[in-house]
Amino acid sequence: MTDWSLPRLLGALHADIETRLRMSREVFGHPVSKGNASEAVWLDMLKVYLPKRYSAERATVVDSKGAFSDQIDVVIFDRQYSPFIFRFEDEKIIPSESVYAVFEAKQSINLDQVRYAQAKTESVRRLHRTSLPIPYAGGTYPPRPLPPILGGIVTFESDWSPALGKPLSDALAAGSAEGRLDLGCVAAQGTFAYDTQGFHVITPLGKPATAFLLELIARLQASATVPMIDVRAYARWLENEPALGISVKAENEDVSTTDPSV
């Protein structure tokens, strides 16, 4: 009987992710199919291994002032305390207050993809977030300070040579603070993480997919709980939305009604 081995278990998790990403790159012929398959690999890993208080979906983020982010490949958000704003088929709209982290999932990392991920991250961080006082048995806690939203990029490989050298460092250092990428994984070559000293630490090899997952969980733990959302701030938009008109044809007449029961 083979004894359990923690190093083998953690290594197998990485090997599974890297193999699936490699297959998505080699098997699918169309670039969109490749991209969708890669995105699905990362989402599946996060849905399986993140604690259940977190959800991971492809989604768009909205704030209570009516502003929307770009569509994001991977949004990690709270499902314990926060509602969906809208969900239909594959479209998911998530309130800004519920977001913990956003990632772009690409086939490979290069300057264009880093800039693209920075812009997507900025589109989420610029959104307004509410934070209400929190009632408890003995009174009310003050509104919780807004935790930072993590941003990043996950890919299979790098287009640079060396894969994780100065071009990557320079690309990560460029751009605005709102677009900063905090965490990333290049599954075939290594990881990077923004540290408390204000620098990106790049770590080559070392089971990158597993290392990325564990560091992500550690940073999510440090974020604690999302702020208490002001749901009424979203409800105010109902006052400005006209009732839907539904046309019903009865025999030879056109009848218009705003009654949704008709």
SS (H, E, C) 185-238: EECCCEEEEECCCCCEEEEECCCHHHHHHHHHHHHHHHHCCCCCCCHHHHHHHH
61-78 pLDDT per residue, tens: 999 999 999 999 999 999
The neighbour count for residue 71, using CB atoms within 10 Å, is: 14
Rounded distance between C-alpha atoms, residue 132 and residue 141, angstroms:
9
Position 254 pLDDT exceeds 90: no
- What pTM was estimated for this model as a whole? 0.87
Q: Is 120 left (phi over 0), alpha (psi -120 to 50) or beta?
A: alpha
The pLDDT, as a whole number, for residue 247 is 47
Radius of gyration of the chain (CA): 22
121-135 burial: b if 16+ Cβ within 10 Å, else e: bbbbbebebbbbeee
Whether pLDDT at 114 is above 90: yes
Give me the count of residues in the chain.
Answer: 262
Please count the other Cβ atoms lying within 10 Å of the Cβ belonging to residue 83: 14
Judged against a pLDDT cut of 90, whether residue 188 lies above it is answered with yes
Q: Which of 170, 164, 218 is nearest to 186 (CA)?
A: 164
Can you tell me the distance from the alpha carbon of 160 to that of 162, in angstroms, rounded to the nearest whole number? 6
Q: What is the mean pLDDT of the chain?
A: 89
Indicate the pLDDT class of residue 48, thresholds 50, 70 and 90: very high
Helices (H) and strands (E) in the chain, counts: 6, 13
What pLDDT is attached to residue 225?
86
Q: Name the more confident of 243 and 133.
A: 133
3-state helix, strand, coil split of the chain in percent (to 5) is 35, 30, 35
Provide the pLDDT for residue 206. 87
Handedness of CA 119, 149, 101, 177 (dihedral sign): positive
pLDDT in tens, 79-102: 888 888 888 888 999 999 999 999
Highest mean pLDDT: which of 83-87, 208-212, 235-239? 208-212
Name the residue type at position 137: A
Write out the catalytic residue numbers.
Answer: 73, 104, 106
Helices (H), the chain: 6-27, 31-49, 111-125, 166-173, 208-223, 231-235
